[in-house]
Amino acid sequence: MADTPMVAMRGVQKHFGSLHVLQDIELDVARGEVVVVIGPSGSGKSTLCRTINRLETIDAGEITVDGEPLPAEGKALAQLRADVGMVFQSFNLFAHKTVLENVTLGPIKVRGQSKSDAEARAMELLRRVGVDSQAQKLPAQLSGGQQQRVAIARSLAMEPKVMLFDEPTSALDPEMIKEVLDTMVDLAQGGMTMIVVTHEMGFARTAADRVVFMADGRIVEQNTPHEFFSAPRSDRAKDFLGKIL
Ligand code: ADP
Ligand code: MG
């Protein structure tokens, strides 16, 4: 249904041993919404992302994607990982495959596309992120910014319902950050549902519908970027913004 949240987290709890890394997480992300997650290092941002495509299991609570509970295993899990695209700080491309092969592999294996369809679509996506001229190269022959844009194209090739970005520009040289952020802004404007963990407050201000601030495994506050940056309510958020702005 159109008004079902694309992602819903209800009472989510996660422990690593004695560490309570996600505490009572309640989060709805609407279709087409762009949510930026910020907070100090160790607050649980990556873990939160990873639970949504089940790279981490949860101890209690419920997560749904497009109204469906997360599958535990098998084909349904592979389908979930295709529906929930994830882009990491380290680009995680297959080093021994060309850029084009990196983008076509998933659609052929998981989505069952023919090689020629997958290649045509991959070239379209590589063009969209501005790296189509690099299609026959190996990842190591590309700059970091180009590799990250290939990683984005690779996720998009699976036609995801939602895209998760976990500090996608943190490993990049400064001059390459903008080209990746521009690609993400373009996606956001195209209506993609996105959850983005980032320290790029410029991106949060321009592209986010909502900022979620986490500390110590909890969502401490959330608001529109304008409200959050101009009038943070909690001491934790004030303290955090004081350090980064
Ligand atoms: P953030 O992304 O906000 O920096 P993380 O979600 O990566 O935070 O980590 C939250 C806390 O959980 C940190 O204290 C981290 O050390 C711990 N942690 C993360 N992954 C694991 C793991 N696989 N095993 C044990 N502890 C972990
Ligand atoms: Mg992290």
Distance 68 CA to ligand 2 centre (A): 26
Confidence check: pLDDT of 64 > 80: yes
* CA of 43, closest atom in ligand 1: 3
Q: Quick one: what percent of the chain has pLDDT higher than 90? A: 93
Q: Quick one: what percent of the chain has pLDDT higher than 70? A: 99
Ligand nearest to the CA of 44: 1
C-alpha span between 60 and 52 (Å, rounded) = 14
Give the H or E element holding residue 57.
none
Q: Which of 159, 160, 139 is nearest to 150 (CA)?
A: 139
C-alpha span between 245 and 240 (Å, rounded) = 9
State if residue 46 touches ligand 1 by the CB under 6 angstroms criterion: yes
Confidence check: pLDDT of 238 > 70: yes
Angle at CA of residue 186, ends 123 and 27, nearest 5°: 115
State if residue 81 touches ligand 1 by the CB under 6 angstroms criterion: no
Locus of tokens 């995680």: 92
Mean pLDDT of 205-226: 97
For a mutational test of ligand 1's pocket, the pick from 36, 46, 48, 218, i.e. the residue with the most ligand atoms closer than 8 A to its C-beta, is: 46
Cβ contact 75:155 at 8 Å: no
Residue closest by Cα to atom 15 of ligand 1: 42
For a mutational test of ligand 1's pocket, the pick from 12, 14, 21, i.e. the residue with the most ligand atoms closer than 8 A to its C-beta, is: 21
Mean pLDDT of 199-214: 96
Compute φ and ψ for 134, nearest 5 degrees.
Answer: -100, 10
Least confident of 36-40, 74-78, 123-127, 234-238: 74-78
Ligand nearest to the CA of 41: 1
Neighbours of 24 (CB within 10 A): 15
The two structure tokens encoding residue 163: 């895209």
- Report pLDDT for 124: 97
- Report pLDDT for 110: 87
Confidence check: pLDDT of 1 > 80: no
| pLDDT confidence band for 121 (50 / 70 / 90) | very high
Q: DSSP class of residue 192?
A: -
State if residue 43 touches ligand 1 by the CB under 6 angstroms criterion: yes
- Report pLDDT for 85: 96
The two structure tokens encoding residue 128: 């969209």
State if residue 19 touches ligand 1 by the CB under 6 angstroms criterion: yes
Interval 71-116: pLDDT, tens: 988 889 999 999 999 999 998 899 999 999 999 999 999 889 999 9
- Report ipTM for this prediction: 0.98
Interval 140-173: pLDDT, tens: 999 999 999 999 999 999 999 999 999 999 999 9
Ligand nearest to the CA of 167: 2
Q: Which of 120, 116, 182, 119 is nearest to 148 (CA)?
A: 182
State if residue 14 touches ligand 1 by the CB under 6 angstroms criterion: no
Return mean pLDDT, the chain: 96
| pLDDT confidence band for 68 (50 / 70 / 90) | very high
The two structure tokens encoding residue 241: 């913004």
- Report pLDDT for 185: 96
* C-alpha 11 chain-centroid distance: 21
